[in-house]
């Protein structure tokens, strides 16, 4: 979490300067309750496959605490909706009716998922001061997680609340869905072909969800700088196959087939492969596989990343930045370095900050976790820790890399990684044969993603065992000058 460790007077000056502009409604958010693709029926219910989903984010700057205790200057995106969901480790994307509920907060930690500054059914921001206050105190790196289902429509609003630590900068920001099958260049976030959002302005991006997979998103203003500074996040599209009813074949009823004209985004399984039938309880899948091979019990997003503290220091001290000399020294998994990767969310069940993760104190006196989402991989094989009492044997790791300087390698010892997809495409040939493979290490470069399955169903794996997921790049196992940190986390079977 990027928190503003600055003088209260600066924050107040920023609010005073921007309040008149905001009151003139330069901050505008769109989250329609119905659309052409999703109209309402006579009973007022949204119809059509999928849902209308909305999310609101802010662009700003500030500080985060690294695992060695040092604070580093960053740019970042802040969650202006779905904050409680993000603190519990899930995406902040919401259906339109939930997004438009009134906003409520306490002690700087938000306890409600509605959009900031909204009245019921009102898509315009009505509390610009609160939006500014939240936007400059809650920025994350990685950015707030986004997840939608196939057939959804997503309305994603970006509000640029300004660079509070560098008021001399008039940085624009955009949102670019990297590798996403987006047909419209206007909403692609590349400023040359679309638009960029100025300070005190908002823009709503519109996307449909055509293909399931693991993607990512980032700011496309001077990408080497803004990505290095922390403006990158994770994006998932979940498959139609998730909507298969219990005790039903995944191709039945047109859920993933030709029964009602809905097509899958992957080739059908090879001839002779049995069609998968969902068990008595609903199940989750990574892709529209048809054979159940991508079924998982629990998922963990992992974004490999790193920071060059010298580049960030120069950026904070009003000096020219040297892109040619950029070299990461802090290496992180989803914004945290070991041992902080296995800490909790930093927030208890009541929304109060707890010291389970590295944290940064803001100007309002509230201590917030440096990054709310840990990467501790917990697989409840016994089923005794799961609320539903269901045993877990398969963990899906959604791994991405948006580094502008490094290739990253992750390895395991004891639990092989089964690679099922690369670049948001299932590893399957046109004849329907699965091309999955087992490995103990994966290496990907900037702008790449893959999906990995950890399967502990074998009797050799028992509750109480702990394994490590770590980088084999030895210099990546460090927190700047401090060794035994960096890109490493734990796989715990409980």
Quick: pLDDT tens for 98-111. 888 776 654 344 44
Sequence-ordered strand ranges (E) for 239-340? 284-285, 295-296, 298-307, 330-333
Q: What SS3 class is residue 439?
A: strand
The tokens for 150 are 């196939």
3-state secondary structure of 119: coil
pLDDT > 90 fraction of the chain, expressed in percent and rounded: 40
What does pTM read for this prediction?
Answer: 0.88
Per-residue pLDDT of 352-411, as tens digits, reads 545 467 777 766 677 777 677 789 999 999 988 876 778 899 999 999 998 888 899 999
Which tokens is 372 given? 């709310």
Listed residue (258, 244, 37) closest to 151, CA to CA: 37
Residue ranges in 24-145 assigned as alpha helix (H): 83-87, 96-99, 128-135
The pLDDT mean for the chain works out to 82
Q: Distance (Å, rounded) from C-alpha 229 to C-alpha 208?
A: 29
Give 62's strand partners: 74
**Nearest CA among 106, 132, 128 for reference residue 117:** 128
Helix ranges restricted to H, 90-236: 96-99, 128-135, 223-228
Instruction: Kindly give, in sequence order, each residue whose CB lies less than 8 Å from that of residue 224, ignoring residues fewer than 6 positions away.
Output: 323, 326, 404
Judged against a pLDDT cut of 90, whether residue 239 lies above it is answered with yes
Q: Contact, 451 vs 420, CB < 8 A?
A: yes
pLDDT tens profile 432-448: 999 999 999 999 999 99
Say which residue, 366 or 487, is predicted with more confidence: 487
Distances (CA, A) of 264 to 181, 195, 426: 15, 32, 12
Distances, alpha carbon 23 to alpha carbons 15, 58, 332, in Å: 11, 17, 39
Give the whole-angstrom CA distance, residue 337 versus residue 72: 13
Structure confidence at residue 21 (pLDDT): 33
Residue ranges and CATH numbers for the domains of the chain are: 8-238 (2.60.40.420), 298-493 (2.60.40.420)
Q: What are phi and psi of 224, to 5 degrees?
A: -60, -35
Please state the separation of Cα 372 from the chain's center in Å. 11
Contacts of 48 (CB under 8 A, 6+ apart): 37, 38, 39, 151
Q: What is the DSSP string of 477-494?
A: SEETTEES-SSEEEEEE-
The answer to whether the peptide bond before residue 33 is cis (omega within 30 degrees of 0) is: no
**Portion of the chain with pLDDT greater than 70, in percent:** 83
The 3 state secondary structure assigned to 195-218 is CCECCCCEEEEEEECCCCEEEEEE
Classify residue 102 by its DSSP letter: P
Band of pLDDT at residue 52, cut at 50, 70 and 90: very high
Q: Is 246 left (phi over 0), alpha (psi -120 to 50) or beta?
A: beta
Which positions ≥6 away from 222 have C-beta within 8 Å? none
Give the tens place of pLDDT for each residue, 315-352.
777 777 788 888 899 999 998 999 889 887 655 545 55
pLDDT tens column, 463-477: 999 999 999 999 999
Sign, CA torsion 31/215/202/128: positive
Segment 202-224 mean pLDDT: 91
């Amino acid at each position: 979490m990027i928190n503003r460790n600055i003088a209260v007077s600066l924050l107040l000056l920023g609010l005073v300067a921007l309040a008149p502009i905001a009151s003139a409604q330069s901050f505008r958010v769109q989250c329609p309750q119905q659309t052409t693709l999703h109209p309402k029926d006579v009973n007022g219910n949204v119809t059509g496959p999928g849902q209308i989903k909305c999310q609101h984010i802010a662009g700003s700057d500030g500080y985060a605490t690294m695992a060695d205790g040092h604070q580093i200057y960053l740019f970042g995106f802040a969650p202006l909706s779905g904050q409680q969901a993000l603190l519990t480790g899930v995406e902040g994307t919401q259906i339109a009716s939930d997004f438009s509920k009134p906003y409520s907060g306490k002690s700087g930690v938000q306890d409600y998922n509605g959009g900031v500054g909204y009245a019921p059914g009102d898509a315009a921001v009505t509390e610009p001061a609160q939006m500014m206050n939240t936007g400059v105190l809650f920025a994350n790196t990685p950015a707030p997680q986004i997840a939608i289902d196939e057939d959804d429509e997503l309305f994603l609003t970006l509000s640029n609340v300004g660079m509070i630590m560098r008021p001399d900068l008039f940085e624009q920001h955009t949102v670019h869905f990297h590798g996403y099958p987006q047909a419209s260049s206007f909403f692609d976030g590349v400023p040359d072909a679309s638009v960029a959002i100025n300070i005190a302005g908002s823009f709503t991006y519109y996307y449909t969800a055509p293909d399931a997979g693991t993607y990512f998103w980032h700011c496309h203003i001077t990408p080497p700088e803004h990505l290095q500074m922390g403006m990158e996040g994770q994006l998932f599209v979940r498959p139609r196959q998730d909507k298969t009813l219990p005790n039903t074949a995944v191709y039945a009823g047109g859920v993933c087939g030709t029964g009602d004209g809905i097509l899958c985004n992957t080739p059908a399984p090879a001839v002779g492969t049995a069609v998968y039938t969902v068990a008595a309880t609903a199940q989750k899948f990574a892709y529209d596989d048809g054979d159940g091979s991508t079924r998982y019990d629990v998922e963990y997003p992992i974004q490999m990343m790193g920071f060059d503290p010298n580049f960030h220091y120069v950026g904070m001290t009003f000096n020219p930045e040297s892109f040619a000399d950029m070299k990461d020294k802090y290496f992180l998994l989803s914004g945290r370095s070991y041992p902080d990767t296995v800490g909790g969310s930093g927030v208890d069940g009541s929304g109060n900050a707890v010291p389970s993760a590295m944290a940064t104190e803001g100007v309002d006196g509230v201590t917030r976790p440096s990054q709310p989402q840990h990467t501790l991989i917990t697989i409840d094989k016994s089923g005794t820790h799961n609320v539903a009492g269901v045993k877990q044997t398969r963990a899906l790791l959604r791994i991405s890399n948006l580094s502008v300087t490094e290739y990253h390698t992750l390895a395991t010892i004891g639990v092989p990684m089964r690679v099922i997809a690369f670049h948001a495409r299932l590893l399957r040939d046109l004849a329907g044969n699965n091309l999955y493979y087992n490995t103990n290490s994966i290496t990907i470069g900037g702008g790449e993603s893959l999906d990995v399955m950890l399967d502990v169903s074998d009797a050799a794996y028992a509750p109480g065992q702990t394994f490590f997921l770590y980088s084999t790049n030895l210099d990546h196992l460090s927190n700047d000058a401090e060794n035994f940190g960096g890109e490493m986390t734990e796989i715990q079977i409980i």
